[in-house]
Each structure stands twice: as C-alpha cells, then as structure tokens.
Structure 1
C-alpha cells in the first residue's frame, strides 16, 4: 500500500465510523460502546498492520490526545461520555497526522451547528447569554459543571455532538485526504 493510499484510508475509515456514531447520536441521543470499542480496536489494528508497532503507538497517542481534550468538556458538563469515546476512537483511526484538522474542524462545525440550532429555535440571545454565564462560571470554579447549564439538563438546547465529530472527520477527509 502506498503512502498516498494510507493517507486516504485513515480519514475514510475515521469518517465512516464517525458518521455511524452521528446517526446513532441523532436517532437515540446515545453513541453505543458497541460502536466505539470496536472502532478504537480497528484503528489500533489498522495502524499496527500498515505501520507496525510505531503506527499503533502513534494512533493510540492520537486517540488519547483527542479523548483527553473532550474529557475536559465532559467533566465540565458540556458533553456526554459517548462524544468522548467517539472522538477517542475516530482520532485513533485518523492518526496523529490528521488530528489537528479533526479537532479544529470539529470545533468549528460544532460551533456553527450550535449557532444554527439556536437560530432555528429562536434562542440565539438566550444561548449567547448562557455561553457567557458558563464561561464566567468555569473561570471562577474550574471544570465543575454549572448547576443548571449542563448536558444533563433537558431544558437547555441540546446538540447531538456526534454530528460535529462526523462533520469534522468528513471535512478532514476532504481537506487532508482527497485534496492531496
């Protein structure tokens, strides 16, 4: 397998698992372990087979970097555990050379989706006020979740973040895989 083929295979596989995770998230508001566990193992095995132990190690590092970043948002009450497990698995499959694109594009698409959802629901002003409140809260108390404005409160606007992860993975595939 050539380097170009490998550079394309990693984001294609990551996108496939991310899109399946997003579909589950939209439909059930859950991203099942039966998807994320095998996806993580698939990423480790894929990189191990194609790039040896070093490849498996860097894939694991990529997944852990993505997972730790999202774990901070989970601890702060901003997302569910399924989102953390999905980005960990998708990051492992995408590999170290793709995670910068993956993380930045996921954040951008997640922000745009959040603004779009707030506009659709007529709650943009309320959402911006809530973002300000949450930012102030975390500046004062660290990662402790806000007592009302957190992912467990069903009254707040909720975005299935698996969609943003999938969008980030697909755009990464396009920019970093297909374009090369």
Structure 2
C-alpha cells in the first residue's frame, strides 16, 4: 500500500468519524463540513495522484452522491448524508466506491434493525416499510406524507454512523485484500 493511499484513507476515516459524532449529537451534518470535506478530498487526490486521480475522484463522488440522492428525493434520508457519502467516495476513490456503497448499506441495515429492536418497533417498522414501498410504487419518488425523514415522530437513524462504519469496513477490507 502506498503512502498516498494511507494519507487518503486516514483523511477519509477522520472525516467520517467527525461526521458521525456531529450526526449523533445534533442530527445534522452541516454544509460547511461536507463541502469542505469534499474539497479537501479533491485537493488531496490531485496533490497525491495528479489530474487522473482527481477525475476518478469526481466520478466516485458523482456516483455515490447520485445513488444516495435518490433516497433523499424519496424522503428516506437527509441532504447531509448525500453530501457526506460524496465526500467519502471522493476520498476513497473510484476503485473502492462500490465496496463503500455495499458496506455502508449493510451497516445501515444492521443499525436500523438494532434501533427497531431497541425501541420495540420491529412490527411497526416492517408494516411501515410495506406502506412506503406501496406509496413509491404508486407515486414514484415523492416522499410519503407521514413516513419520511422530516417527520420528527418517526424513528430516525443517524446515517452518518452507517456511512462511517461502511467507510472503516471498506478501508479494512482494502488493507486485507492487498
């Protein structure tokens, strides 16, 4: 593993951990943090790997951000999560963005199950999942009128924790694979 990869992984892990702390404490990931993290990832990529690395970093951010933007449009996650995954993908790089997305989704699912059990809302959550799926089948990406991230009565997941777990898992898997 090159020293460039170590620097990028360290930066990305630090960004993810800071975001998780902010999300747990305030339930928000501020724009100043996500946007400066994205710019920082782009700057590191170009300084360490040149223009080619920067272009791959842009592609990684666009892919990850676009996929999470679909969930945002559907009312399933906040905009800070979308910007955070784009910044993390920019730091991780295009080659590991697929693993990042898979690990993050798996960690998010595990965290969601833990929260449902902890709050005693397993049956209600599965029922609501069916309602949401039916709603989106009939209405496309329009957020469900009640079951969306903006409704404070709903059980809400600090998704930066899942993104952080997915990031750290991706970094760990990359080190094992090399």
1:17-166 paired onto structure 2 within 5 Å = 17-166=15-164
- Distance, in Å, in 1 between the alignment partners of 2:103 and 2:12 is 14
Contact 1:13 1:93 in 2 (8 A): yes
Q: Answer yes or no: is the 8 Å Cα contact 1:109–1:164 preserved in 2.
A: yes
* Total equivalences in the alignment: 178
Residue 151 of structure 1 aligns to a residue whose secondary structure is: coil
Structure 1 residue ranges (4+ consecutive) displaced by more than 3 angstroms after TM superposition = none
Judging changes above 3 Å, is the alpha-carbon distance between structure 1 residues 18 and 109 closer, same or farther for their aligned structure 2 residues?
same
User: Distance in 2 between the 1:119 and 1:171 partners?
Assistant: 23
SS of 2:157's equivalent in the other structure is coil
Structure-2 separation of matches of 1:14 and 1:164: 14
Query: Structure 1-normalised TM-score?
Result: 0.94
Instruction: Give the direction of change, closer, same or farther, for the CA distance of 1:10–1:177 in structure 2 (3 Å limit).
Output: farther
Conserved? CA contact 1:8–1:177, under 8 Å:
no
Look up the SS of the partner of 1:98 in the other structure.
helix
Q: Which ranges of structure 1 fall in alignment gaps of 5 or more residues?
A: none
8 Å CA contact 1:8–1:173 kept in 2: the answer is no
Label 1:36 to 1:91 Cα distance change in 2 as closer, same or farther (>3 A). Answer: same
In 2, the alpha carbon distance for the partners of 1:129 and 1:112 equals 18
Deviation of 1:179 (Å):
4.9
